[in-house]
Amino acid sequence: MRFWLLTCGIMIISSAASCHAQHGGWKSDYAEASTAAEREGLPILLHFQAWYCGPCQRMDRDVFPHADVQKALSTGLVSVEIDVTKEPDLAARFEASTVPRDVVVFADGTVETLNIGYMSRAAYVSLLSDTADRGKTKIKVKPRGEEDKQKINDDPVPNPTDPSSQTASPQPPVESDSEKIVKPEPENAEPSNEVFITGLDGYCPVRLHDAREWTPGLESIVADYRDIRYRFASESDRDKFLKNPVAYAPQDLGCDPIVLTNEGKAVAGRIRYGAFFDQRLYLFNSQENRELFKKSPLLYIEIRSVLKADQIEDIRRQ
């Protein structure tokens, strides 16, 4: 029986490896992808995966074999799969602590985490197409003498500020541990009757992420990301957000990942029940769900749903 189980395990691993080899659209390794991207001036898409990862196997089976996906992987992008068990240094360099995960390095040096977890075929093609389009505006390096390329801030963050010292409504404690083009609100814009969702109840997502401070944002300094409007404490905060919104915006559009995973419902989380994991902010609609997440976070972030703001239940719209 032990021999049979071992044989099955070898067959499963071999089958997964052979599946990866048969899929088109990928470069053979990161070195080849880097060379091609430099030569052609294109973004590099890194898809981090592992043989033991269930969602990775689902994507390998249900997403990557399709011609439209393979075409999108090689249209305006240079794509490469990275096995985190074989390339741990590369995974650490791009902070790929969980898989599946997609990271893009644009030609101007900007690095963004595009997605964490399973994505459907249609959603993945859309993500690739959007990333390729954005890559057209992030071309080559800036002239000598200008500021360095944009980088992800790896500096350690200070301890959270005591929420009671803030003005405005009662502040929630957040525990420290873990696409569409973003458009800033035009200046001198005329008043609009449009109904929109205010992200993080109006608090600045950049101050929260970088300094763990609940700082109210200004109504005059805003930006929309995935149909949710965020306010910022300063213009520089908004600029940082626009460079890498996926790092600052709450995951799953601020929906409770426990409810999303267990019930398939997009229910808005509450800022008083927030928690950081892997430098990403998750919101929950109860303390019980937050505690449940803390015990086994990987159960709730590996498989992610592609959401739209109008699908969110129990959220305030303004």
Tell me the average pLDDT across 166-182: 45
Give the pLDDT of residue 7.
38
Tell me the average pLDDT across 95-115: 90
More confident residue, 233 or 304: 233
Residue 255: which domain range? 157-318
CA–CA separation, 96 vs 100, rounded Å? 9
Give the pLDDT of residue 253.
86
Verify that 297 and 208 share a domain, yes or no: yes
Tell me the average pLDDT across 253-276: 89
pLDDT of 174 above 60: no
Give the pLDDT of residue 94.
87
Domain harbouring 62, CATH code = 3.40.30.10
In a domain, 149, yes or no: no
In a domain, 142, yes or no: no
Tell me the average pLDDT across 243-261: 88
pLDDT of 235 above 50: yes
Nearest of 29, 46, 30, 43 to residue 95 by alpha carbon? 46
Residues 153 and 111: beta-carbon distance below 8 Å: no
Give the pLDDT of residue 65.
95
Cα torsion 147, 148, 154, 155: sign? negative
In a domain, 140, yes or no: no
Give residue-wise pLDDT tens across range 113-167: 999 999 999 999 999 999 999 999 887 644 444 443 333 333 333 334 444 444 4
- Collapse the DSSP code of 308 into the 3-class scheme (helix H, G, I; strand E, B; otherwise coil) and give the result: coil
Total domain count for the chain?
A: 2
Verify that 115 and 163 share a domain, yes or no: no
Give the pLDDT of residue 309.
64
Let me know the angle formed at the C-alpha of 282 by 237 and 268, rounded to the nearest 5 degrees.
100
**Mean pLDDT over all residues of the chain?**
77
In a domain, 123, yes or no: yes
In a domain, 219, yes or no: yes
Tell me the average pLDDT across 91-120: 90
Verify that 13 and 131 share a domain, yes or no: yes
In a domain, 117, yes or no: yes
Band of the pLDDT at 303, cuts 50, 70, 90? very low
Cis-peptide, bond into residue 100, ω within 30° of zero: yes
Most confident of 62-71, 146-155, 238-247, 294-303: 62-71
β-bridge partners, 306: none
**What pairing do the DSSP bridges indicate for beta strands 228-232 and 197-198?**
parallel
Give the pLDDT of residue 311.
65
Q: CA separation (Å) from 187 to 1, 95, 184, 292?
A: 71, 36, 9, 43
Verify that 46 and 162 share a domain, yes or no: no
Nearest of 174, 275, 155 to residue 215 by alpha carbon? 174
Q: Alpha carbon 289 to chain centroid distance?
A: 21
- Which of 135, 170, 198 is at the close of a domain? 135
Residues 199 and 209: beta-carbon distance below 8 Å: no
Verify that 123 and 55 share a domain, yes or no: yes
Tell me the average pLDDT across 94-100: 89
Cα torsion 16, 17, 18, 24: sign? positive
Let me know the angle formed at the C-alpha of 195 by 191 and 197, rounded to the nearest 5 degrees.
115
CA–CA separation, 274 vs 249, rounded Å? 12
β-bridge partners, 175: 275
| pLDDT cut 70: percent of the chain above it | 70
Most confident of 56-65, 158-167, 278-287: 56-65
Give residue-wise pLDDT tens across range 204-215: 999 999 999 999
pLDDT of 168 above 60: no
More confident residue, 297 or 45: 45
Give the pLDDT of residue 154.
37
Verify that 173 and 85 share a domain, yes or no: no
Give the pLDDT of residue 316.
52
In a domain, 143, yes or no: no
